[in-house]
Amino acid sequence: MSRLILELLLRATGETLEMVLASGFIAVLGGLPLAVFLTLTGPSGLCRMPWLNRPLGFLIDAVRAVPFIILLVLLIPFTRIVAGTSLGTEAAIVPLSVAAIPYFARIAEVSLQEVDSGLIEAVRAMGGTRWMIVRYVLLPESLPSLISGFTVTLVTLVGASAMAGAIGAGGLGDLAIRYGYQRFNTTVMLGVVAVLIVLVTGLQALGNLLSRTLRHDAPMRGA
Amino acid sequence: MTLLAVEAISRSFAGHTVLRDISFTVQAGESVGIIGRSGAGKSTLLRCLNALERPDTGRILFEGQDLAHLPEKQLVLLRRKIGVVFQHFNLLSSRTVAANIALPLEIAGMPKAQRQERVAELLHLVGLEEHARKYPALLSGGQKQRVGIARALAANPALLLCDEATSALDPETTTSILDLLNQINKTLGLTLVFITHEMDVVRQLGHRVLVLEQGTIVADGPPADILKPDNALSSVKGAGYVASYS
């Protein structure tokens, strides 16, 4: 493998990581509050508000229903407003975030709903406010599961970021299409696939490790 | 002194009456058992007593305030004066034993130094000093319930409610938990209201027992009188229950 190809791969990996981590971060920032809100206002929540919960759920699912490649194109005007341009790695973070927020919101919602209702009852009985229940029960008790869900989100973002390459976002997907596919450069293609495998398995392993370290509800954890 | 006065409360869910015109009082320092079959309304009654549930009618006076009609904001504060021990412990798996016990104190806004002091006292009281830094998952059922009791006592409640506190425990552990509750009732003078379906628990822990059947109280008196199979109550509706469980 020539030095040039290595440099290309390295730069593309950096771009992919930038897109994935930035949009992943925004996904948590936007998705987690949404998930908490959905859980609290949902049918078995602490402050049931179906008139707010249902439209919000619908909006979230509507965004999730749009295939990413189409969302990418649909959002071009919006991306221009936010990022100033619709081309490049930074610009791609906008549609990636828009897709990742509702995705993570639904995943996190499941984690939050799995928290034992007895624990919520216990903290209510102690005189905890709703905010305290979120802070002391919902978030800490679901943290290992939230991290697993975040890992899934990141891996999905790796895939989605490859599609963003199609509109000039750079990254590994872009490299594979332009060099590997259009120029028949098998070395680049295989190199990209290898990097992607390492990236995804690495992210997954890291996520699993973190989730396991924070999980205290299983008595015989590796002891 | 009357600590708790329940006055003619009723509660129904979707047209089904769970509690019907229930009245009783609890004196400070007393230990009162509420016994009944599953579905008799025990849990709903207990949830009314710690203000997680409002009765449809009637009043519940605790320290002179009416739990049935107080606005939610004040109820939140009032709940901090009522400790609850749960059948399934309900300990937070993400917190150590010490941090679980400290939770009601954090909720009450106690400063950290004071909190640590109080937690140390409570760990000593329930005999779990050496487990302070462990997570609940590593404890036995009896130890978990000791943590549950310590947590319920943390904020110095005026009333301790026990919801089938020993029903998930084996007989030996049950005895040790009942001893602990007895000790708390006697030495701390803490008022105890507990629900159970086990006659033995009432015998060992109660000064007084209320028999709940189909949402109404059918008997009220000292366990020794109520739980005798052939007593004056044989003419009462609750007699069937008492006889079948004695």
Q: Say yes or no: B54 contacts chain A, CB-CB below 8 A.
A: no
Q: Looking at chain B, which residue has its C-alpha nearest residue A213?
A: B94
Q: Say yes or no: B74 contacts chain A, CB-CB below 8 A.
A: no
Looking at the fold, whether B68 and B118 belong to one and the same domain comes out as no
The string of pLDDT tens digits covering residues B14-29 is 889 999 999 999 999 9
In this complex, do A216 and B93 lie within 8 Å of one another by their Cβ atoms?
A: yes
pLDDT of amino acid A1: 62
Looking at the fold, whether B162 and B76 belong to one and the same domain comes out as yes
- Do B215 and B56 meet the contact criterion of CB atoms below 8 Å apart? no
Residue A66: half-sphere exposure toward Cβ, Cα within 13 Å: 19
A135 CB-near residues (< 8 Å, 6+ apart): none
Mutation to test the A interface, candidates B50, B90, B131, most A Cβ within 10 Å:
B90
pLDDT of amino acid B234: 41
Q: Looking at chain A, which residue has its C-alpha nearest residue B99?
A: A136
Averaged over B187-201, what is the pLDDT?
A: 90
pLDDT of amino acid A167: 74
Q: Name the domain boundary from B156, B171, B206.
A: B156
Averaged over B169-178, what is the pLDDT?
A: 90
The string of pLDDT tens digits covering residues A185-219 is 888 889 999 999 999 999 999 999 999 999 988 75
Domains of chain A: 3-222 (1.10.3720.10)
Look up the ipTM and state it.
0.88
Looking at the fold, whether B151 and B168 belong to one and the same domain comes out as no
Tokens of A132: 């305290």
Q: Name the domain boundary from B156, B181, B206.
A: B156
Closest CB from A126, A143, A218 relative to B94: A143
pLDDT of amino acid B232: 44
In this complex, do B107 and A143 lie within 8 Å of one another by their Cβ atoms?
A: no
Q: Looking at chain B, which residue has its C-alpha nearest residue A119?
A: B90
The string of pLDDT tens digits covering residues B61-87 is 998 899 999 999 999 999 999 999 999
- Do A83 and A90 meet the contact criterion of CB atoms below 8 Å apart? yes
Burial letters for B112-121: b for 16+ Cβ neighbours within 10 Å, e otherwise? eeebeebbee
In this complex, do B90 and A121 lie within 8 Å of one another by their Cβ atoms?
A: yes
Q: Say yes or no: A114 contacts chain B, CB-CB below 8 A.
A: no
In this complex, do B90 and A217 lie within 8 Å of one another by their Cβ atoms?
A: no
Q: Say yes or no: A222 contacts chain B, CB-CB below 8 A.
A: no
Q: Looking at chain A, which residue has its C-alpha nearest residue B73?
A: A129
Looking at the fold, whether B24 and B43 belong to one and the same domain comes out as yes
Give the Cα separation of A104 and A128 in Å (integer): 27
Closest CB from A124, A125, A217 relative to B93: A217
List the CATH number of the domain containing B238.
3.40.50.300
Total structural domains within chain B = 2
Secondary structure letter of residue B229 according to DSSP: T
Looking at the fold, whether B151 and B192 belong to one and the same domain comes out as no
Closest CB from B50, B88, B93 relative to A125: B50
- Do A118 and A111 meet the contact criterion of CB atoms below 8 Å apart? no
Spell out the SS3 assignment of A194-214.
HHHHHHHHHHHHHHHHHHHHH
Give the Cα separation of A178 and A161 in Å (integer): 15
Q: Is the pLDDT of residue B235 over 50?
A: no
Give the Cα separation of B57 and B68 in Å (integer): 8
Looking at the fold, whether B181 and B94 belong to one and the same domain comes out as no
Q: Say yes or no: B32 contacts chain A, CB-CB below 8 A.
A: no
Please report residues of B whose CB lies closer than 8 A to that of A130: none
Weakly modelled stretches of chain A, pLDDT under 70 = 1, 166, 219-223
Please report residues of A whose CB lies closer than 8 A to that of B88: 118
Please report residues of A whose CB lies closer than 8 A to that of B155: 126-127
Q: Say yes or no: A174 contacts chain B, CB-CB below 8 A.
A: no
- The neighbouring-strand residues paired with B220 are B210
Q: Say yes or no: B52 contacts chain A, CB-CB below 8 A.
A: yes
Q: Name the domain boundary from B124, B156, B188.
A: B156
Looking at the fold, whether B68 and B102 belong to one and the same domain comes out as no
Looking at the fold, whether B127 and B195 belong to one and the same domain comes out as no
Domain that holds residue B17: 1-81+157-246
In this complex, do B50 and A116 lie within 8 Å of one another by their Cβ atoms?
A: no
Please report residues of A whose CB lies closer than 8 A to that of B90: 116, 118-119, 121-122
Looking at the fold, whether B77 and B166 belong to one and the same domain comes out as yes
Looking at the fold, whether B14 and B132 belong to one and the same domain comes out as no
Give the Cα separation of A221 and B25 in Å (integer): 48
pLDDT of amino acid A176: 86
Mutation to test the A interface, candidates B80, B88, B94, most A Cβ within 10 Å:
B94
**pLDDT band for position B236 (cuts 50, 70, 90):** very low
Q: Looking at chain A, which residue has its C-alpha nearest residue B46?
A: A125
Q: Among A21, A207, A203, A39, which residue's Cα sits nearest to residue A107? A: A39
pLDDT of amino acid B155: 93
Cα B87 → chain centroid:
10
Give the Cα separation of A138 and A36 in Å (integer): 8
The string of pLDDT tens digits covering residues B100-149 is 999 999 999 999 999 999 999 999 999 999 999 999 999 999 999 999 99
Angle at the Cα of B88 from the Cα atoms of B85 and B94, rounded to 5 degrees: 95
Report DSSP letters for A91-144, one per residue.
HHHHHHHHHHHHHHHHHHHHHHHTS-HHHHHHHHHTT--HHHIIIIIIHHHHHH
pLDDT of amino acid B230: 54
How close is the nearest chain B Cα to the Cα of A46, in Å? 12
Q: Among A203, A212, A213, A208, which residue's Cα sits nearest to residue A13? A: A203
pLDDT of amino acid B242: 55
Q: Say yes or no: B124 contacts chain A, CB-CB below 8 A.
A: no
pTM, entire model: 0.89
State how beta strands B208-213 and B31-35 pair.
Answer: parallel
Q: Say yes or no: B155 contacts chain A, CB-CB below 8 A.
A: yes
Give the Cα separation of A109 and A76 in Å (integer): 29
Give the Cα separation of B11 and A170 in Å (integer): 64
Q: Among B26, B232, B163, B96, which residue's Cα sits nearest to residue A216? A: B96
Chains A and B form CB pairs within 8 A to the count of 68
- The neighbouring-strand residues paired with B34 are B195, B210
Looking at the fold, whether B122 and B171 belong to one and the same domain comes out as no
Q: Looking at chain B, which residue has its C-alpha nearest residue A220?
A: B138
Looking at the fold, whether B149 and B164 belong to one and the same domain comes out as no
Q: How many residues does chain B have?
A: 246
